[in-house]
Amino acid sequence: MTQIRSWYRPMRARPGDEPHRVATSLELLYDLCFVVAVGRTAIEFHHALSENHVLQGLAGFLFVFWAIWWPWLQFSWFASSYDTDDVPYRLAVLVQIAGGLVIAAGVPGAFHGDFRVVVIGYVLMRLAAVTQWLRAARSDPARRVTALRYAGGITVVQVLWIARLWLPDSLLVPSVLVLFLVELAVPVWAERAAGTTWHPHHIAERYGLFTIIVLGETVIGATAAVQEGIAETEALAELIGLAGCGLVIVFAMWWLYFDRPGHARLTSLPAAIRWGYGHYLIFASAAAVGSGIEVAVDHHLHKTTLPMFAVGLAVTVPVAIFVLSVWLLQIGPRDECRPLAVGFPAAAVLAVAVSFTPIPIHLVAVVLAALVVTTVVATEGHTVERTHS
């Protein structure tokens, strides 16, 4: 039977156990547009590291990635509960996409201390989300207080973000950290009134798709860096080896993340908040690995003055953070499988330790490959539910 599309529908909560709940084409378009912002952030972080502006680059990376990740997270959870796919909903998402592109345009300035454009794009996205929550408040009486708390809380924080632009530079770090904490507190406060009906399988799929996006950006960035140096015949063999190791690292990261179904961890609101918020570390570290591999390519082409151990740390530290985050969020430190309970933290320690060897990128690839083998052997014969898009 052909479904008749309506230009407007009441924004009622979708069931949390709705069958065949998967990402929509609009959500995929939303993600695709965010690739631009993630890519620009990785490029600027690479340049900052290669130019030995490590602290400034790291601060810019963490701030900009937050500005990308947090609106994405909020959109994904809202859509899981209230995606009506009508005209007003689509137009609001269009505004959010436009805000994401504004953020992408402001990335270079943010890495040099000018956050105005990024804040404008961020506030634009968040205020578009407020209109969605107001619609939900009107159409869903059971969760009206929740929706109004979201709308009110988001609006207040956006006013504070704009006001922060006039604060002196000496208050930049503490003011940003305070606003980050307030942003994180809004969903916790709002959901206490009445929980929204997010769909565990849908949320896990959305997070999996974003993980693939950041891993894909790592591949693109590393490939571009190798391509730039392909004419350097003296370093060709080293570049080929580096590219191969980069591919092993990315593939192992993908394997480790998707080995366990994410929705199995979404058993309650507190668990969902920990899992959802904790993915900032997974997403950011995965994106940072790509920048680190590009710095390694620069080192082989003598385009950076960074010492080899610093180049190694640019890859091994985000790899270690990724491994620990996957262990804590996807598997759980209390997992009964002893090899996994020991293997993941041991691999993270080894990843950092090899930074001080002459070939850190090659060795961290070996460490991750060994962890994948350990995971396969340890879970052999055990039934593990897989998720399929």
Lowest-pLDDT range of 2-11, 15-24, 262-271, 278-287:
2-11
Reply yes or no on whether the pLDDT at 80 is more than 90: yes
pLDDT of amino acid 229:
63
How far is the C-alpha of 41 from the C-alpha of 254, rounded, in Å?
21
How far is the C-alpha of 263 from the C-alpha of 278, rounded, in Å?
14
Answer for the pair 213, 35: CB distance below 8 angstroms, yes or no.
yes
CATH 1.10.10 fits 200-378, yes or no: no
Reply yes or no on whether the pLDDT at 262 is more than 90: no
Helices (H), 111-235: 116-139, 144-164, 172-191, 200-228
pLDDT tens-digit profile of 271-295?
Answer: 999 999 999 999 999 999 999 998 9
pLDDT tens-digit profile of 189-199?
Answer: 999 999 999 99
pLDDT of amino acid 1:
38
pLDDT of amino acid 383:
53
How far is the C-alpha of 173 from the C-alpha of 194, rounded, in Å?
34
pLDDT of amino acid 335:
60
Average pLDDT over every residue of 159-168: 94
The two most distant CA atoms of the chain are separated, in Å, by 69
Length of the chain: 389
3-class state of residue 85 by DSSP: coil
pLDDT of amino acid 92:
96
pLDDT band at 148 (very low <50, low <70, confident <90, very high): very high
The domain locations on the chain are 25-191, 200-378
Handedness of CA 375, 376, 382, 388 (dihedral sign): positive
pLDDT of amino acid 386:
47
Reply yes or no on whether the pLDDT at 144 is more than 80: yes
CA 201 to chain centre: 18
pLDDT band at 266 (very low <50, low <70, confident <90, very high): confident
Handedness of CA 164, 169, 171, 175 (dihedral sign): positive
Reply yes or no on whether the pLDDT at 381 is more than 80: no
Reply yes or no on whether the pLDDT at 234 is more than 70: no
pLDDT band at 361 (very low <50, low <70, confident <90, very high): very high
pLDDT tens-digit profile of 34-64?
Answer: 888 999 999 999 999 999 999 999 999 999 9
Reply yes or no on whether the pLDDT at 389 is more than 50: no
How far is the C-alpha of 363 from the C-alpha of 195, rounded, in Å?
46
- What is the residue type of 146? T
Percentage of the chain with pLDDT > 90?
A: 67
pLDDT of amino acid 305:
87
pLDDT of amino acid 30:
93
pLDDT of amino acid 388:
41
- What is the residue type of 205? E
CA 337 to chain centre: 27
Average pLDDT over every residue of 324-346: 82
Reply yes or no on whether the pLDDT at 2 is more than 50: no
Average pLDDT of the chain to the nearest whole number? 89
pLDDT of amino acid 253:
96
- Side-chain half-sphere CA neighbours of 302 within 13 A: 3
**Residue 46: closest CA among 92, 123, 2, 107:** 107
Q: Which residue has the higher pLDDT, 1 or 115?
A: 115
pLDDT of amino acid 325:
96
3-class state of residue 53 by DSSP: coil
How far is the C-alpha of 360 from the C-alpha of 352, rounded, in Å?
9
Reply yes or no on whether the pLDDT at 355 is more than 80: yes
Percentage of the chain with pLDDT > 70?
A: 92
pLDDT of amino acid 239:
80
Sequence-distant (≥ 6) Cβ neighbours of residue 266 within 8 angstroms = 200, 203, 204, 272, 275
pLDDT tens-digit profile of 196-226?
Answer: 999 999 999 999 999 999 998 888 877 776 6
pLDDT of amino acid 258:
93
**Residue 287: closest CA among 48, 33, 37:** 37
How far is the C-alpha of 182 from the C-alpha of 174, rounded, in Å?
12
